[in-house]
Chain A
């Protein structure tokens, strides 16, 4: 079954200020959907709300994953369903190694932990330390394979999570996490920002491989640039807390040519013909 993430008339606010003002959007597995818009339009907020950030309050509408609302789910439960948010600014967590963190994450998402808990409940016996984790040997093998495949230095494994990482390293790290967690739908928040051309190639290449493997991607971006490397099936334009226009790749080309100013000048017309899904 092809997984679908539907955002329906979504309203969300932070500290009483409405940021999302009725967002409609559908993302399907195996498809790249670019979401373009000016800075401050609320694109990143949409990513956070889909991932379940507690700071934002959903005041209306719904988010459905395969037809079921995920609004009541905690962020980790959403991750377990197969939703992934690649952060624009991944946080650095000193003292937590990339490998240890990722092993815990993969084990949780793939159900090792839940199975260990069930086993304990069933047998009434205390579980062994580490039984909630994917076996070390298997994990390392897969991690190294994917590091090679996605052009991430193996030395990453021992480094602390994003601590002292350059902008490019952080974004590569996000791609690697995505490759390990194998989400059905990923929201990539400005994964191209702050990258030089080589890093942009590596990150784009990673996204393309994952999409080829069946992942759906919502590519949030301010610039056309990444779309030269990752070809979207759909492009939506985000403006002032909502999607104002959805079309094919030609929409991105038009934006490139005319700029966001054109959108602003044609808002009235766009509002009259609601964005097509």
Chain B
């Protein structure tokens, strides 16, 4: 693939204006961007005095180190035109549709024709803006607001593109939809995921973030799961280990709907991810699964909220992490059961497996309950690999290394088991095996 030379752009209000002008955006959007920029400027940089930033410092992060991509790469006509490694990446999952975004430009798209016929829209956010502006306007920034945090504000000022999915009423997409986000060296990426499942629809979305060497990623995801819909959203953060990663994600779960999200965090020098589950209507079920395995000096921080506003909802959270070398992880979670959310059943668990004397996992689970007829359970564990496990396996002829690998893989199995896409399970298992080390 030939990439045109890019005139790179500094992050500033002028860049916001140029971006909006370049894409000939409607007035409301240009205005929203400028408002977001103002919000960004008005919010202070986070300090440890804020609870969510107490254990994660931005030391060394300088926004001026990153540039915006200036020229869009071209759309490619077929899989065969893609670079080899992207073709391989796509081949791992048997999907009904594909989007590949490179530095904000849509470079490849596929969608099963039968689904398009049924009214499924699966395209980049810019494409959706051109063809289905009302749908975008209704949903964009309806769940995650610019003022939410400094990084969300920056995102709304500068988002370049994203993934847009709209599944009409009663349409079930059986195979997963795949989104690949490729970010270039030294660049700032602002990917926006907007997923809408209408009543009684069904979809599985797999989103994979790669690249961003010496770069930064500041993404937002908004997921709407309407009444009786079933949505699975699997996010694989596979960025370079030199990247800074910030992500704000929120899903709204409708009446009797089912939502399941996986966050797998592999990459990033530092990663701060907020994941909120909004149980907005009665009878919904939400699951948040998390998996992280930092090594070297990686610092991975996940902050979750399970917000129960209406009665008879269930939510279930399981985050598991293993840590090598000098790595650090922070898990902070809260179950809020609001007044009136009777018969809520909420669960939250974070387990950590410490593989090195220098690694550290902080875990801060929490509950806030304002209703009286609820069942809420939470817990956190942090442990080293028990020597008794190692001895038992070695006594059966396994080497120490194989024994350790099996135990770590077994530790993550509880999460991987619940991932509905075989290709994703295989990718997760391979990544874990590589991290523990194959002899």
Question: Is A109 part of the binding interface, using a Cβ–Cβ cutoff of 8 Å?
Answer: yes
- Are B402 and A108 touching (Cβ within 8 A)? yes
Contact yes or no, A79 B396, CB < 8 A: yes
Answer whether residue B171 sits at the interface, using C-beta atoms and an 8 A cutoff: no
Report the Cα distance A161→B394, complex, angstroms.
Answer: 14
A8 within 8 Å of B by Cβ? no
Question: Given A93-B392, A94-B414: A105 and B407 within 8 A (CB)?
Answer: no
Q: Mark B382-421, 1 if CB is under 8 A from A, else 0.
A: 0000111101111111111011001101111110000000
Contact among A54, A108, A117 with B397 in the assembled complex (CB-CB below 8 Å) = A108
Chain B: which residue is nearest A51 at the CB level?
Answer: B395
- Partner pick for A79 among B389, B397, B409, B412, CB 8 A cutoff: B397
* Interface residue A263 (Cβ < 8 Å from any Cβ of B): no
Report A189 CB to chain B, min CB distance, Å.
11
How many A residues touch B, CB cutoff 8 Å? 33
Q: Which residue of B lies closest to A94 (CB)?
A: B410
Q: Which bracket fits the contact residues of B?
A: 20 to 34
A55 at the interface (CB under 8 A from B): yes
Is A241 interfacial (CB-CB < 8 Å)?
Answer: no
> Could you tell me which residues of chain A, from 199 to 228, have a CB within 8 Å of some CB in chain B?
none
Cα–Cα distance between A177 and B396 once the two chains are bound (Å): 8
List of A residues within 8 angstroms of B439 by Cβ: 117
A79 smallest CB distance to B (angstroms): 4
Q: A96-B410, A101-B406 are in contact. Are A108 and B399 (CB under 8 A)?
A: yes
- A75-B410 contact in complex given A93-B389, A108-B402, C-beta closer than 8 Å: no
Whole-angstrom CA separation of A161 from B410 in the bound complex: 10
Give the Cβ gap from A193 to chain B, nearest Cβ, in Å. Answer: 17
The secondary-structure label for the interface of chain B is helix
The one of B388, B397, B409, B414 in contact with A80, judged by C-beta atoms closer than 8 angstroms, is: B397
Given the interface pairs A93-B407, A94-B413, A96-B409, the reply to whether A104 lies near B398 with Cβ below 8 Å is: yes
Most A-side CB within 10 Å, residue of B392, B403, B412, B414: B392
Report chain B residues within 8 Å CB of A136.
Answer: none
Chain A residues contacting B392 (CB-CB under 8 Å) are: 87, 90-91, 93
Distance, CA A53 to CA B32, complexed state (A): 66
Quick check: is A76 within 8 A (CB to CB) of the other chain? Answer: yes
How far apart sit A78 and B395, CA to CA, in the bound complex (Å)?
8
- A220-243 contacts to B, CB under 8 A, are none
- State whether A52 and B393 are in contact (beta carbons under 8 Å apart), knowing that A95-B409, A95-B414 are contacts in the complex: no
**In the assembled complex, which residues on chain B have CB atoms less than 8 Å from the CB atom of A52?**
394-395
How close is A222's CB to chain B, nearest CB, in angstroms? 22
Contact B406 A104 (CB under 8 A): yes
CA A104 – CA B62 in complex, angstroms?
Answer: 48
Which residue in B389, B397, B412, B414 is a CB contact (below 8 Å) of A109?
Answer: B397
Q: How far is the CA of A102 from the CA of B397 in the complex (A)?
A: 10
Pair B396/A74 contact, Cβ less than 8 Å:
no
Measured CA separation A225–B400 after assembly (Å): 37
Is the CB–CB distance between A76 and B398 below 8 Å?
yes
Q: A93-B389, A94-B413, A95-B414 are in contact. Are A75 and B394 (CB under 8 A)?
A: yes
* Complex alpha-carbon distance, A160 and B402, angstroms: 17
Pair A95/B402 contact, Cβ less than 8 Å: no
A100–B396 Cα distance when bound, in Å, is: 13
User: Complex formed: what's the CA distance from A90 to B391 in Å?
Assistant: 11
25 interchain pairs, CB-CB under 8 A: A51-B395, A54-B387, A74-B394, A76-B396, A76-B397, A76-B399, A79-B395, A80-B397, A84-B395, A87-B395, A91-B386, A91-B389, A94-B410, A94-B411, A94-B414, A95-B409, A95-B411, A96-B409, A96-B413, A101-B396, A102-B396, A104-B398, A109-B396, A160-B410, A177-B396
Closest 10 CB pairs of A and B: A95-B410, A95-B413, A96-B410, A79-B397, A75-B394, A109-B397, A105-B396, A108-B397, A76-B394, A91-B392
